[in-house]
Amino acid sequence: MLSLSELLLKEGDTLSSFEDLKKAIQKTAVETGELYFQVDIEPPAYTDRPSDWHDQLNLAFESAR
C-alpha cells in the first residue's frame, strides 16, 4: 500500500506544488505496482492545492494503474 505520509517523507523536499505531488503519486504507483493508496495525512498547503485535494490525489493514483 502506498501511503501519502511515506511518499512525503521520501520525496517531500523535491515537491513544490500540488501538481508535483500528483505526478509523484503517479510515478510511484507505476514504479511500485501498488494496488492501494492511503491518504493518511493532509498534504502541505501548496498554493495550488484545491479544496477537493483528497479526491484529486485518489484520481491521480487510480489513473496511474
Tens-digit pLDDT string for the chain (65 aa): 999 999 999 999 999 999 999 999 999 999 999 999 999 999 999 999 999 999 999 999 999 97
Q: Which residue has the cell 493518511?
A: 40
Structural domain including 44 reads 2-63
pTM for the full model? 0.94
Evaluated on CA atoms 16, 20, 2, 58, the torsion sign reads positive
How many domains would you assign to the chain?
1
Output b/e per residue, 24-48; b: 16+ Cβ within 10 A.
bbbebbeeeebeebebeeebeeeee
